[in-house]
């Protein structure tokens, strides 16, 4: 049994095939691509009992109206977030580790709400490690696109949109001092100001270049663990360089290398403290022979204790 497992050797997989938070179709097939890449069997080979809970219900874009262009499909995304939060809470109540498969990154509003709500009942806060090329801290007022997948961090910190920040009847789900963004390299100008005002910790790709990934991950975990029950990891596959992970909706050059991505996950496994994990934005339509999903599964295995030797 590896360091991460301890007494929590059950993993529950929860699929959230939502693509309403952005405008490039195909990310709704991400959970299927990750399953097809052998996620369950590979985690079982590490000694876990793995239970796949299937997918939460989502609305299909063609069956509804997109609503306000400042936050497209916000009502439907909030409904999906409630289902996701409920599934995550049930997994945690069963002492399992939830792995949530997206879908676009707007699903994090529900995932983190579920984790935070579970530990709030125990009078404990949770930390958030957000691994992404983007900061996702826009609001409907500041977003240049109206895509809700660029808003979940803002919602989790208690900003707009209220339909997401007020999920489960309280806000904020995480505090700035427990929140760390890693791998950032594509930030809107207004987001920069929001980040400064919020007081969250951000490690850009320049910081990784200058400090080294080990130092960044060690510092990030220290921040996310301090005065919390542990931390949730929300990882967008676009944090990895597009040469390694082409199947994402918003690729940005200059991302993590193959080995850097694995090292980040290996440090998470070594340190422990992981409460739940979320992997998003795998788009099979844009991928090459499921290459991005296969890398994503490899990274999840590293985060859950797979070692070279």
Can you state the angle between helices 213-225 and 258-271, rounded to 10 degrees? 40
Q: Is 238 one of the catalytic residues?
A: yes
Catalytic residue among 76, 238, 266, 287: 238
Catalytic residue among 40, 104, 191, 281: 281
Catalytic residue among 132, 160, 260, 266: 132
Exposed / middle / buried, residue 33 (Cβ in 10 Å: 0-12, 13-18, 19+): buried
Task: Enter the tokens of residue 201.
Answer: 């910790």
Q: Is 132 one of the catalytic residues?
A: yes
Q: Which helix (H) or strand (E) holds 77?
A: helix 74-93
Catalytic residue among 83, 117, 118, 134: 134
Cβ 38 vs Cβ 291: under 8 Å: no
Q: Is 118 one of the catalytic residues?
A: no
Task: Enter the tokens of residue 258.
Answer: 């193959």
Catalytic residue among 19, 104, 105, 241: 105
Catalytic residue among 136, 225, 266, 294: 136
Catalytic residue among 104, 225, 236, 266: 236
Q: Which helix (H) or strand (E) holds 199?
A: none
Q: Is 149 one of the catalytic residues?
A: yes
Q: Is 222 one of the catalytic residues?
A: no
Catalytic residue among 117, 149, 178, 232: 149
Q: How far apart are CA 174 and CA 184, in angstroms?
A: 19
Q: From its phi and psi, is residue 47 left (phi > 0), alpha (psi between -120 and 50) or beta?
A: left
Beta strand pairing status for 201-204 and 231-236?
A: unpaired
Catalytic residues: 105, 132, 134, 136, 149, 236, 238, 281
């Amino acid at each position: 049994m590896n360091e991460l497992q301890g007494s929590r050797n059950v993993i529950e997989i929860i699929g959230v095939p939502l693509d309403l938070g952005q405008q490039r179709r195909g990310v709704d097939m991400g959970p299927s691509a990750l399953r097809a890449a052998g996620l369950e069997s590979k985690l079982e080979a590490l000694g876990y009992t793995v239970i796949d809970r299937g997918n939460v219900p989502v609305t299909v874009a063609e069956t509804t109206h997109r609503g306000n262009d400042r936050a497209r499909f916000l009502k439907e995304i909030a409904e999906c977030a409630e289902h996701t939060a409920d599934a995550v809470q049930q997994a945690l109540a069963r002492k399992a580790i939830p792995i949530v498969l997206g879908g676009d990154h707007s699903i994090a509003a529900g995932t983190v709400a579920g984790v935070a709500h579970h530990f709030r009942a125990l009078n404990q806060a949770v930390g958030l490690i957000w691994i992404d090329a983007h900061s996702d801290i826009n609001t409907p007022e500041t977003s240049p696109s109206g895509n809700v997948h660029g808003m979940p961090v803002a919602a989790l910190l208690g900003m707009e949109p209220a339909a997401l920040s007020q999920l489960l009847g309280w806000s904020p789900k995480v505090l700035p001092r427990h929140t760390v963004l890693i791998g950032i390299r594509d930030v809107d100008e207004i987001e920069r100001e929001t980040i400064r005002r919020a007081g969250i910790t951000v490690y850009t790709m320049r910081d990784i270049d200058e400090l080294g990934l080990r130092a960044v991950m060690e510092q990030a975990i220290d921040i996310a663990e301090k005065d919390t029950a542990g931390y949730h990891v929300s990882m967008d596959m676009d944090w990895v360089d597009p040469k390694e992970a082409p199947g994402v909706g918003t690729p940005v050059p200059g991302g993590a290398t193959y080995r850097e991505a694995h090292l980040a996950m290996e440090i998470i496994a070594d340190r422990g403290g992981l409460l739940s994990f979320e992997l998003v934005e795998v788009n099979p339509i844009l991928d090459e022979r499921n290459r991005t999903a296969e890398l994503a599964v490899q990274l999840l295995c590293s985060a859950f204790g797979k070692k070279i030797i």
